[in-house]
Structure 1
């Protein structure tokens, strides 16, 4: 994504991407223009992108607690209500890479404003929906807008702040917003649904969009997109189709079992489309939408893999915590939302200290520690039962898991964006966002299946319906803890230590 190219702070000269000389030149010229226009407005840039990222992450979770009210008001058919969530996730996950490339061609300011306006319009239409189809379509529109906004937000940080303490602080704040947005979404969704109406979980985006448009107009320089830029149409189609098929196939496993012809066929199509996409990008595309050579950098592919596991763990944790509070402990929307306050506070605390810890102990130590702490919290959640009280059984794991999530999100994002050529900023941010989103979809699909299986097993063993539900949720939490353990092992093995990083 073209924007301001900050001065490099290391002694290693930047290498232009292979096979893309025309694009590299236009990016360099665009970056210089953006740098001149940004000037001292870096604080406003950070505020703008964090506001956009907050809205994107809020809307991934804000509707969860409002789903029963939506279903009752609009008359959703059995099994159709999850599409209020799935439509957003499908459009968002499927179009992330394409959204980043479109921003390359349109320019950051134009793409950011277009994404904000589309998000606002979709929110208005969803808030006034009178049928299930209208609401699901509006949620899909929000997902399309999110696929444009999410890659831009991190890219603007990477190209506005020079690598070093300034960028580390900015990434820390952005990561705090990303990690805390989902927890805040559950809280806000409960408050709005209980105190006002479910429609306000969509209308709440309107003031955010208005403020975002005003800030973007003042802070993001209007840089003319490069005339030589072109869209890799076939690569965009293959990449979008592969991600859409993957996300769709996984989301439908609650209705079509893993071994069914429909699920196997959809996932097989996703694999074939993905292989075709990789082959086209590597061998034939003259201006690839994803330059695969960027993954030769260890930090890029390790960060993408780790954030996929973090994304799976975060979404699964919020989802099953919400279900346990409402279905087992019988909390109402307001109480269930308020129950996530410790998680919000812990995430913010972890994000705030992550930068200082990384500067002192290095990325590998801090990332590993954060992942293990988050895994410990999820394992603690695995002990929730029918008689578990909120204070003694929910607050403790919420604080431990959330502090760990805040730490590892900041450490992983900082590691993944370090040493990145400004011309690759959009690509790396797109990969990190796509990894987190697809990780959440994969994790939710797989662990929902495991939870249902555990619930059925507990029921067959004679447990009460509530106890069987709790057993299924506990299984999901334990497996989530295992995923975070795997991520910690990857960090230990592949993330370079401080001495090795200093020599690079």
Structure 2
């Protein structure tokens, strides 16, 4: 890499890490935020859900807009919104003010994340360098989520929950100043109209789907959840019809029909949804079942972070020897397989050592799966559609993160019921939840391997 490429890589990866960490940095501070600002216990979840709805629902739209108006322009605008929204969140004195800040942070994430990824793929066109850059990007995205939870706990304990917002501001300002100096503007060569009907349909459809799933995970299946999921199915179905009949479609149907795009984005839902659920239930196990501190839970989660970092470093070398399609299915299968040993976890703290060891391996394969998916998703379309491809890939990650915990939490709640439960009953619920998550990954990994194993080269 040239010196300018290295500088571009550093600032873009730093932004990706921050955006991923921003998703989870407040999760561990929710009780303190609720007490300080007057949130009820039942409404606390909206601090996370509001962010997730905007981040996952708008990513594809902003990715495609970046193709038209310029990816660097969208990146810097998103960073500006992040800086302002973080300031608003840090000084918030009411629930409404905080939720407004979280909404803007979600929109900033939806703008910055696909734009940064598209800038990476267009800045590094040589296959080996692109794979290396995407590997480091996957490390930042995946480890950022787990590190964000640890960082949020540290900032809350040492300073205040408000610093979970304030820490974003200097990073965002630095990115706004540096990116124009080291990253060239990138946009599609062929300009066309923005598909507004498609943008509205996909955004509302994903909003409805994520809200419905979140509602099921927290309150069980009720009329509102059912109506949201039905609305999501209708909106996404209409979106498919509109895309098939629109000349300048937001996502051309020919792209959606590509096996690489379809199966790769399906895999992303399970890769990221399963990993975030594992992180969540590991925290419950360490704190509620073993009775250890939040700091101890953070130290246990470091095993996941280390596994992801190592895999992100050696992953590009593995991809030089193993076709991405093959590695995707095998890695997802092994990610689920090494989640399942947690089914034998007991209330004895001696089980922490095998837990950390198996989760380290699980994290390693979750990263190789994520890297394989990203290489496939961004190599299957031409440069004019890189914003769309990276937007779709990022959106799949965000949707997986947004729905993973609510879906598996619904399984957990169905086992333990409502009201006060003992540590043994909670452990039983954790076993069932992790078993379902890991089992789904094993099955989907096998299916992907069976479907894609004969394809050994990416299309040009």
TM-score, scaled to structure 2? 0.93
Aligned mate of 1:472, from 422, 429, 453 = 429
Aligned mate of 1:125, from 76, 80, 88 = 88
For the pair 1:434 / 2:391, whether they are aligned, the reply is: no
Deviates most, 84-93 or 411-420: 411-420
Write out aligned runs for 1:187-226 (5 A): 187-222=150-185
Write out aligned runs for 1:290-439 (5 A): 290-389=251-350, 391-439=352-400
Contact 2:67 2:385 in 1 (8 A): no
Task: For residue 417 of structure 2, give the secondary structure of its aligned residue in structure 1.
Answer: helix
Contact 1:304 1:432 in 2 (8 A): yes
User: Structure 1 stretches of 5 or more lacking a match?
Assistant: 1-37
Q: Which residue in 2 is equivalent to 1:103?
A: 66
Contact 2:218 2:406 in 1 (8 A): no
What's the offset of the Cα at 1:395? 1.4
Output one character per residue of 1:7-58: Cα deviation in whole Å (capped at 9) or x when no partner: xxxxxxxxxxxxxxxxxxxxxxxxxxxxxxx997322222222122111110
Q: Which residue in 1 is equivalent to 2:233?
A: 271
Task: For residue 310 of structure 2, give the secondary structure of its aligned residue in structure 1.
Answer: helix
What's the offset of the Cα at 1:381? 2.2
Write out aligned runs for 1:164-175 (5 A): 164-175=127-138
What's the offset of the Cα at 1:480? 1.2
Distance in 1 separating the partners of 2:18 and 2:458: 37
Task: For residue 344 of structure 2, give the secondary structure of its aligned residue in structure 1.
Answer: coil
Contact 1:368 1:408 in 2 (8 A): yes
Contact 2:308 2:367 in 1 (8 A): yes
Contact 1:385 1:471 in 2 (8 A): no
What's the offset of the Cα at 1:216? 1.0
CA distance 1:77–1:61, change in 2 (3 Å): same
Distance in 2 separating the partners of 1:129 and 1:457: 32
CA distance 1:443–1:218, change in 2 (3 Å): same
Contact 2:214 2:407 in 1 (8 A): no
CA distance 1:162–1:457, change in 2 (3 Å): same
What's the offset of the Cα at 1:393? 4.2
Q: Which residue in 1 is equivalent to 2:457?
A: 501
Contact 1:123 1:205 in 2 (8 A): yes
What's the offset of the Cα at 1:95? 0.9
Task: For residue 501 of structure 1, give the secondary structure of its aligned residue in structure 2.
Answer: coil
Contact 2:71 2:116 in 1 (8 A): no
CA distance 1:490–1:208, change in 2 (3 Å): farther
Contact 1:129 1:135 in 2 (8 A): yes
Number of residues paired by the alignment? 460
Output one character per residue of 1:388-433: Cα deviation in whole Å (capped at 9) or x when no partner: 4464243122212111112211122122222431112112111111
User: Structure 2 stretches of 5 or more lacking a match?
Assistant: none
Contact 1:354 1:366 in 2 (8 A): no
Contact 2:335 2:365 in 1 (8 A): yes
What's the offset of the Cα at 1:243? 0.8
Task: For residue 385 of structure 1, give the secondary structure of its aligned residue in structure 2.
Answer: coil
Aligned mate of 1:250, from 213, 224, 228 = 213
Distance in 2 separating the partners of 1:502 and 1:262: 43
Contact 1:247 1:438 in 2 (8 A): yes
For the pair 1:262 / 2:224, whether they are aligned, the reply is: yes
What's the offset of the Cα at 1:265? 1.0
Contact 1:45 1:156 in 2 (8 A): no
Distance in 1 separating the partners of 2:123 and 2:29: 38
TM-score, scaled to structure 1? 0.86
Contact 1:451 1:475 in 2 (8 A): yes
Q: Which residue in 1 is equivalent to 2:201?
A: 238
CA distance 1:230–1:331, change in 2 (3 Å): farther
Distance in 2 separating the partners of 1:277 and 1:66: 38
What's the offset of the Cα at 1:239? 1.2
CA distance 1:300–1:250, change in 2 (3 Å): same
Contact 2:188 2:384 in 1 (8 A): no
Distance in 1 separating the partners of 2:186 and 2:371: 30
Deviates most, 437-446 or 128-137: 437-446
Q: Which residue in 2 is equivalent to 1:138?
A: 101
Contact 1:163 1:418 in 2 (8 A): no
Q: Which of these two proteins has the greater Rg computed from alpha carbons?
A: 1
What's the offset of the Cα at 1:308? 1.3
